[in-house]
Structure 1
Amino acid sequence: MRTLVIGDKRWSSWSMRPWLALRHAGIEFDEHLIRLRRPDSKERIAAVSPSGKVPLLIDGDLTISDSLAICEWAAERVPSLWPSDASARAIARSVSAEMHSSFVAMRTEMSMDVELRTKKELSRDARADVDRVMTIWREARVKWGQDGDFLFGAFSIADCFYAPVVTRFRSYGVTLDDTASRYSEAIFAHPEVRAWCDGVERD
């Protein structure tokens, strides 16, 4: 049986992404959770992860680091994790890669905390990141989302990448436009997102 090594569901946005993809695709795996923000966290992660980071997928002799790489591995087995239309698929990959590599200010000022509820005044750079995210959601929904409630209609890897952002917006009281509000409702209603949030570890 393959194993997905993840960090806390409360805090680990990078772990959430492949966890959602594998669960949604029906790919079976054992979950190995390593608690973060503890004195031995780095040591425990290093014992199983060559990169020293989570998430990590172990499938026999194969070890895959990085959330996007794990999601791509899953999509090779279950192609419906990406949109079937070639143009939509290209844009879905593009916005997922943008989420993977950008939005530094938003990540810094709005770290993921599924249980947090507060209101925060954001810097100009973080506000620009938030606006860019909502633009991505709006454009995807208008052009590609007619056949479902998610960015490209059906739930896809793109939604796996933006689901942690949806939790951030709720945690920090971000005001949403109509499209973002409806999209957030769809994300929180997804059974695997509910399962992730319900599974948050509590001390």
Structure 2
Amino acid sequence: MMKEYEKMMAGLAHLPMKSELTEMRQRAREILFEFNRTSPNDEETQNNLIRKLFAQADETTSINEPFHCDYGINIKVGKNFFANYHCVMLDNGGITIGDDVMFAPNVSLYTVGHPLDAELRNIGWEQAKPIIIGNNVWVGGNVVILPGVTIGDNVVIGAGSVVSKDLPDNVLAFGNPCRIVREITEQDREYYIRTYRSDV
């Protein structure tokens, strides 16, 4: 018989208030409590706590407090990951993030959902689907990414977007619901250099 954690990670209906999952969330909350009250000048302690919490992180991981997640052990981040203030990752279904990814303030990743039927919902059933984010992605402020979404490499998501569908590589997307506006091309690089850089 599958345990509740195994059901959760398989995307099946599960009961999060079972002791197994409750204990796992409590461990994460204890680490997060310490992280969120650590001095911002003590970057080494903050980094060590995140590496203790996440399944994958390294010395290049940088997260501004406050930060919140459900389990932590279901989060994997690549090199040079940065999350600004008030990031929330409900990582029940697993979150995988590539290299050189930046989150603006108030970015939320929700891998978990609940039944539409009120009776089932009130019993406590839920289910989860993974979120996958590629390399070189910039996520704007107040963006919400919903369960089961995959985001490709080199994507920029505009502020305030609600992302409910997959996004391919090399696109600018924004809106509620989030939609692809256009491809990101070499012209964007040239425009930036001409407009903003004074060293060339």
TM-score > 0.5 by shorter chain: no
Larger-gyration structure (1/2): 2
Q: TM-score range by the shorter chain?
A: under 0.3
Q: Counting strand residues as a fraction of each chain, which structure ranks higher?
A: 2
Q: Which has the higher contact order (CA 8 A, sep 6+)?
A: 1
TM (norm. structure 2) is 0.24
Q: Counting helix residues as a fraction of each chain, which structure ranks higher?
A: 1
TM (norm. structure 1) is 0.24
